[in-house]
Amino acid sequence: MTTRMAILEETGPRHGPSLLTVDLGAVKSNYRLLADKVGEAQCAAVVKANGYGLGLKQVSRALSQAGCKIFFVAHLDEAIELRGHLGQAVIYYLNGLMPGDAPACNAHDIRPVLNDPGQIDAWSLHCAGASSTPQCAIQLDTGMARLGLTPREAKRLDPARLDGIGLALILSHLACADTPAHALNECQRSDFTALCAALPRVTCSLAASSGIFLGPGWHFGMVRPGATLYGVAPNEDRPNPMAQVILLQGKILSIRDVDTPQTVGYGATYRFSKPTRLATVAAGYADGYPRGLGRQIGAHIGNIAVPVIGRISMDLITLDVTDAPRAKPGDMVDLIGPHHDLDMQASQSGTIGYEILTRIGRRYARRYIETSQ
What positions carry a catalytic annotation?
48, 266
Residues 124, 130, 134, 137, Cα dihedral to 10°: 0
Q: What is the CA radius of gyration of the chain?
A: 24
d(CA 207, CA 36): 15
The phi, psi pair for 371, rounded to 5°, reads -100, 150
Q: How far apart are CA 172 and CA 204, in angstroms?
A: 8
Decide: 22 and 58 in contact? Cβ < 8 Å: yes
Q: Do residues 252 and 333 touch, judged by C-beta distance below 8 A?
A: yes
The residues near 66 (Cβ < 8 Å, ≥ 6 apart) are 27, 28, 31, 32, 35
Residue 171 to residue 100: CA distance in whole angstroms:
23
Distances (CA, A) of 259 to 154, 270, 311, 336: 67, 12, 18, 28
Exposed e or buried b for every residue in 297-306, given b needs 16+ CB within 10 A? bbbbbeeeeb
Query: What single-letter DSSP state applies at residue 166?
Result: -
Say whether 283 sits in a helix, a strand or coil. Answer: coil
Q: Say how far residue 36 (Cα) sits from the centre of its chain.
A: 20
Round to whole Å and give the CA distance between 200 and 260. Answer: 73
